[in-house]
Structure 1
Amino acid sequence: MATFVLIHGAGDVGWSWHLVEAELRARGHDVVAPDLPCEDETKGLEETADMVVREIGGRRDLVVVGHSFGGFIAPLIADRRPVEVLVYLAGMIPAPGERPADWWDNTGYAEAAKKQAARDGGLTGNDDPFISFYNGVPRELAEEALSRERGQSNASYHKPWPLRAHPDVPTKIILCKDDHLFPAAFFRRLGPERLGVVPDEVPGCHCVALSHPRELADQLESYLGK
């Protein structure tokens, strides 16, 4: 049995993992999926990671998964606690000292999104969240997810990522083939550039935990014992 520590993205809530959590618990695993203090200006990246570590408590055999903006939090947890695997799920892979606010320009995101939008007829980067984030999620579920969204503090978005190097732990990247926020081609480039890791690919949109929870659980479970 493993403990999956599921870190949600910017302005989101732990509820976003509830379908994946159910899948993992049905397979005998433990799950920690906290609501992060997204809107609290007294809680930056390090304070948020400290909060998650407290939530983990004495649990062991940790698989830490950072979704989207959670990619800036997940490695901080791996730096604080022994983990079996660190996973970036459509995750923002940080560089030492990088501010999340600068990540977009530093990674060449805008050009990558522009190229993909030209290919897919403007689906990538679309202003409609049901297209850019929740494509493939049942409408009622997507509407509930959207109603739960929160803001993201400047304290977490504009302060540098504090680590001098990526944690020396087994690391995986999962990209979502139908992601209209972070194009698949973008992560196929970024994963090897930043971590020397070729991403694994799963079907689904940016909010894949809601669109393809079983397939995501399968992929996460496949990392155990490797």
Structure 2
Amino acid sequence: MIPGAGGAGWYWHLVAERLHARGDEVVAPDLPADDPAAGVPRYVEVALAALGDRRDVVVVGQSLGGPTATEIARTRPVRRLVLTNAMIPAVGENPGDWWTASGHEEAKEAAIRAAGREDAGFDEAWEFLHDVPADVAAAGAEHQREQTDGPFRDGWSLPAWPDVPVTVVVGRDDRFFPADFQVRLARERAGVEPVVIPGGHLLALANPDGLAEALINAL
């Protein structure tokens, strides 16, 4: 399970508890998000080192973890790739170009207007934490690292789309990657109809039961 910005494997802990309860093994590594020299290739190295020689793997990527998870699925045999509220990459596209090439800026601005808000810049509470329980959000602070721009300027781009089954899980209430935007990317880039479940951008913290169920169904 690949975390998003900040690189905290802790992000997955509530979902991991639910998967452990049914006998699944979960590997959720911390990534070197605070290292400006580390980009997607380094994130892949760290994740694969944590994975070891395990086989019959489902690789899951959240948000910024999308490109890393997709590259893992391209380079190592896996059973399935699952992307949750993810930056779904396009072949030949650098993550630094994703924001413009995907149409994210326009989609987010439209969602902000639809919510009756003025765009006053990034608002972590409104965009990320609006449906995360306060105690969970507070507990997560110590696990996060400062996300550098390493993945956005290291020059990596996806060489080819992985030849594996893909599931895309979309948070219906995501304010950072609006749901209709994600649905379009799932169809255009991954060629799949996404699974839409309740929850905002941090699905694993806001709706761990729903996300665990979606992952189990994807197995």
Q: Distance in 2 between matches of 1:178 and 1:52?
A: 29
Structure 1 position 17 matched with structure 2 position 5: no
Stretches of structure 2 that go unaligned for 5 or more consecutive residues are none
Q: Which runs of structure 2 are paired with 1:10-159 in the superposition (5 Å)?
A: 10-122=5-117, 127-159=122-154
Match of 1:187 in 2: 182
Q: Distance in 2 between matches of 1:78 and 1:35?
A: 18
* TM-score normalised to structure 2 length: 0.93
Contact map agreement 1:124 1:132 (CA 8 A) in 2: no
How many residue pairs align between the two structures? 219
The 1:47/1:171 distance shift into structure 2, 3 A limit, reads same
Contact map agreement 1:97 1:160 (CA 8 A) in 2: no
Contact map agreement 2:94 2:155 (CA 8 A) in 1: yes
Stretches of structure 1 that go unaligned for 5 or more consecutive residues are 1-5
1:56-105 CA distance string (max 9 Å, x none): 11111111000000001001111222111101100001112322121110
Contact map agreement 1:126 1:132 (CA 8 A) in 2: no
Q: Distance in 1 between matches of 2:112 and 2:174?
A: 11
Q: Which amino acid aligns with 1:37?
A: P
The 1:92/1:123 distance shift into structure 2, 3 A limit, reads farther
CA positional deviation for 1:20: 0.4
Percent identical across equivalent pairs? 42
SS state of the match for residue 32, structure 1? coil
1:148-197 CA distance string (max 9 Å, x none): 32222333221233432111110111110011101001011111111211
Structure 1 position 217 matched with structure 2 position 190: no
SS state of the match for residue 33, structure 1? coil
Q: Distance in 1 between matches of 2:32 and 2:7?
A: 10
CA positional deviation for 1:30: 0.2
Q: Distance in 2 between matches of 1:124 and 1:31?
A: 38
* TM-score normalised to structure 1 length: 0.91
Contact map agreement 1:116 1:124 (CA 8 A) in 2: no
